[in-house]
Amino acid sequence: MTASPAPAPARLLRRALHAPEADRGNALPAGAWWLWALGLATAASRTTNPLLLGLLVGVAGYVVAARRTDAPWARSYGAFVKLGLFVVALRLLFSVLLGSSIPGTHTVLTLPELPLPDWARGVRIGGRVTAEQVVFSLYEGMKLAALLICVGAANALANPARLLKSLPGALYEAGVAVVVAMTFAPNMVADVVRLRTARRLRGRPTGGVRAVAQIGLPVLEGALERSVAVAASMDARGYGRTAQVPAAVRHTTNVLTLGGLLGVCAGTYGLLATEGAVYGLPLLLAGLVTAMAGLRLGGRRSVRTRYRPDRWGLRAWLVAGSGAAVAAAMIWAGAVDPAAMRPGVVPLVAPVLPLWPAAAVLVGLLPALVAPVPPAAYGTGKPSARRSGHGDGHRNGHRDGNAHGGGKQARIDKEQA
């Protein structure tokens, strides 16, 4: 017998990066999804080209569709998309009604202008509407909408509880409050839907002031009960208890944290500004390092333990690195070819799709290939051998064992939910 040939390097790499079924052990850390989404948001802030912005939104939407779960927070992506469309419409409406400082020669329509007093000089309501100002407002509105949609992608993919586990000890108390606030609205919406369905089944009206009043009381009662239960569980777990640290450590922590956050704010503003990328990135990195040092020292006051901490494996670094690569490529493209990244509106020119920035944006699709597949999406394909057994004879001979395995899987799914 001849030995089988060794697999090619490409086949080995494909096996290593093949996305497995997501479970509690290999789920990506929430920080990886947020870094990926913030990278896409940074890339969207560096351009007003509608073709690139649409490509960024398409990349974020495809990854969300491929890797989001059935959890309540995963349904928030549609709300962010609707919010982005509302922002674009509102930006266009303000431009038409309040005018713009963009000069133009192509008149679209002329609205009746409302006369204003002398102290409101420079502001007008109505008047001439030009195509240049409408296109400029459309580009700016699309950029803001793309930022919101990228943040919505992070909200839909990242588990808030896992994000809380990843926070430093100094931010644990604030993180718990944020997570409780984030989970309050989905639970309230679920209560409203449940009560409306119950009233509909009983033949009672679900609309009108009287129905809203009758639904609102049980919803508020359920919210109060959940608040009391959360407060009791937080107190039982030692929430708010701190350890004694020297005064010098506290002062140093405050200085480092405050200085680092100021550096992060200044660096972020530099990255989002038109001509601030030169000093924005060094300030951002210095601020992050300083703030992390302050949070590391501040974590000594928090007495808590970590159960199953998130581990950053190869897949997590690939997801976070893909977002950082897209952001770096778009920043570089803005410095090399600003005309393509920011199409002119005076005079009006048709936007063109720059090839290598567009190819760099497609790197953001990497999470759809390497991130673990959610169980719901995995179940639509061929069932795995672990769940389906090893054949008909095996299933007929070991029904009790399979039933036990199914019960175990049900408990795992319930625990994840």
For residue 128, list its beta bridge partners. Answer: 110
DSSP state of 202: T
What letter represents residue 92's amino acid?
A: L
- C-beta of residue 125 within 8 angstroms of C-beta of residue 146: no
Please choose, from the candidates 69, 23, 70, the residue with its C-alpha nearest in 3D space to the C-alpha of residue 387. Answer: 23
- C-beta of residue 133 within 8 angstroms of C-beta of residue 98: no
Q: Give the Cβ contact number of residue 91 at 10 Å.
A: 20
- C-beta of residue 298 within 8 angstroms of C-beta of residue 169: yes
What letter represents residue 342's amino acid?
A: R
SS3 113: strand
DSSP 329-353: HHHHHHHH-HHHHS--TTTT-----
- b/e burial code for range 150-177 (CB count within 10 A of at least 16 → b): bbbbbbbbbbbebbbbbbbbbbbbebbe
- C-beta of residue 219 within 8 angstroms of C-beta of residue 242: no
Q: Give the Cβ contact number of residue 340 at 10 Å.
A: 19
* Tokens 């608040």, residue located: 227
Per residue of the chain (417 residues), what is the pLDDT tens digit? 444 444 555 555 555 556 667 666 677 888 889 999 999 999 999 899 999 999 999 999 999 998 888 877 777 888 899 999 999 999 999 888 887 778 878 888 888 888 777 777 767 788 888 888 899 999 999 999 999 999 999 988 887 767 766 666 666 666 666 666 666 666 677 777 788 888 888 888 777 777 777 777 787 777 777 777 776 776 676 665 666 667 777 778 778 888 888 888 888 777 766 565 667 778 888 888 888 888 777 766 665 666 566 678 888 899 999 999 999 999 899 888 888 888 888 888 888 898 999 999 999 999 999 888 887 655 444 433 343 344 444 434 444 444 444 444 554 454 454
* pLDDT reported for residue 391: 40
Distance CA 310, CA 266 (A): 30
Q: Which helix (H) or strand (E) holds 110?
A: strand 107-114
What letter represents residue 257's amino acid?
A: T
Please choose, from the candidates 364, 380, 374, the residue with its C-alpha nearest in 3D space to the C-alpha of residue 325. Answer: 364
What letter represents residue 392's amino acid?
A: D
What letter represents residue 82's amino acid?
A: K
* pLDDT reported for residue 281: 75
* Residue 181 structure tokens: 């606030």
* pLDDT reported for residue 305: 61
- Chain center to CA of 256: 28
To the nearest 10°, report the CA torsion of 114, 115, 121, 124. Answer: 10
Kindly report the pTM of this predicted structure: 0.67
* Residue 286 structure tokens: 């210095």
* pLDDT reported for residue 292: 81
* pLDDT reported for residue 78: 86
* pLDDT reported for residue 49: 92
* pLDDT reported for residue 384: 39
- C-beta of residue 51 within 8 angstroms of C-beta of residue 351: yes
